[in-house]
Amino acid sequence: MIAVKEDQVIRSFTCQNCRGPQVESAEIEETCPKCGGVMQGKLWDIEEIVQFSPRLKCQKNGCKGFMSIGSLQSQEPMLLSYAINREYLERAIGKANVAVLFVRDEDVCGIDTPISFVFSEHPQIDFFLFHNYLIEHTDFYGRPDKTSISPTAQVHPSAFVAEMNVVIDCEAVIGPNVTVLEHTIIGPGTVIAPGVVLGVQGARLIKRPDGSRFKALHGGEVRIGKNVFIGANAVVVRSVWRRPTTIGDGVFVGNLVNIGHNCQVSDGAMILPAAILCGRAEIGVGATVAPGAMVSNGVRVGDQAFVSLGAVVTQDVPSGQQVSGNFAIEHARLVEHIKELSAK
């Protein structure tokens, strides 16, 4: 993270020319590290929310607007988020990057904070309705750009590649019946096996008070590094927020793997057949997730760690450790436990 002085405003910059990497900076303008173009950030005034829905009321405190949007787990700067109750609000106040919150009026009594408020009877519902509005009716997540396919890439005639917002770099191979949806970037030398689906939206459903549900749209991207292999019929879900679902360089992804929204798979990792990475899971450098294993939401598997066959991982795995079982524990402890049971 950038060291922030009290008088600094950290902006998020995205290049609309090449859709290059996002940059966070205290400068007014930045240069795209990929194409050299000028990148500009934008502060969105909270009055944008009132224009979206006049029934919502705003209270401007020290923060006058927002530059990013996401859940309270997000580390993005000048964040717009939501707090469903007083406990969530107090948690948000402890985070330096939160700028604006959808909240209930009764939860802010006695609260002194620079965070600005948007008052709602149902903060989560109105937050996601506004998020959907940003995706569908504004350029918050960038402007459309024509798909770019390198002349040296190989795309099978039966593959579907969206006409907008896709980049396929040099020497990439797109196999038969692959689907590459918008907001997907595929690095050089990467091989996508038959039947893979990239950039699909996940099933994030928000429940209304009457029991009906609506879908939270996904506004981010899928970014795949260089020399990656993605096996047959794997699925990689587009991120909900700006931070893309990322697969690093040299990663091996087996057949039938599902990689959820906003997952971060680091360089050299191996995600073996039929494994499932739930939303926001992080896989460290050189780590292995064995066949049929599942890594739960927001869990981090450390560098060079090993998740055994069929394990269900619900808490962080330290670097270099092997875990096994359902729910997964350190492999050596599980073996000892099984020996004890067998001896009885």
Nearest to 261 by CA among 275, 248, 242: 242
Cis peptide before 13 (omega within 30 of 0): no
Nearest to 63 by CA among 92, 105, 39, 86: 92
Torsion (CA) 206, 56, 100, 47 in degrees, nearest 10: 130
Which pair of tokens denotes residue 80? 């717009």
Q: Please give the DSSP secondary-structure letter assigned to residue 107.
A: G
Residue 317 bridge partners (DSSP):
301
**CB neighbour list of residue 180: distance below 8 Å, 6 or more residues apart:** 159, 160, 161, 162, 166, 168, 174, 186, 192, 198, 199
Query: Strands 252-253 and 270-271: what pairing?
Result: parallel
Catalytic residue among 218, 261, 331, 337: 261
Q: Please give the DSSP secondary-structure letter assigned to residue 326.
A: B
Beta carbons of 304 and 296 less than 8 angstroms apart? no
**CB neighbour list of residue 154: distance below 8 Å, 6 or more residues apart:** 172, 173, 174
**Beta carbons within 10 angstroms of residue 207's beta carbon:** 12
Q: What is the spatial distance between Cα 337 and Cα 208, in angstroms, rounded to a whole number?
A: 45
> Is 331 one of the catalytic residues?
no
Q: What is the spatial distance between Cα 74 and Cα 77, in angstroms, rounded to a whole number?
A: 9
Q: What is the spatial distance between Cα 204 and Cα 277, in angstroms, rounded to a whole number?
A: 15
Beta carbons of 153 and 171 less than 8 angstroms apart? yes
SS3 135: helix
**CB neighbour list of residue 335: distance below 8 Å, 6 or more residues apart:** 324
> Active-site residues: which are they?
261
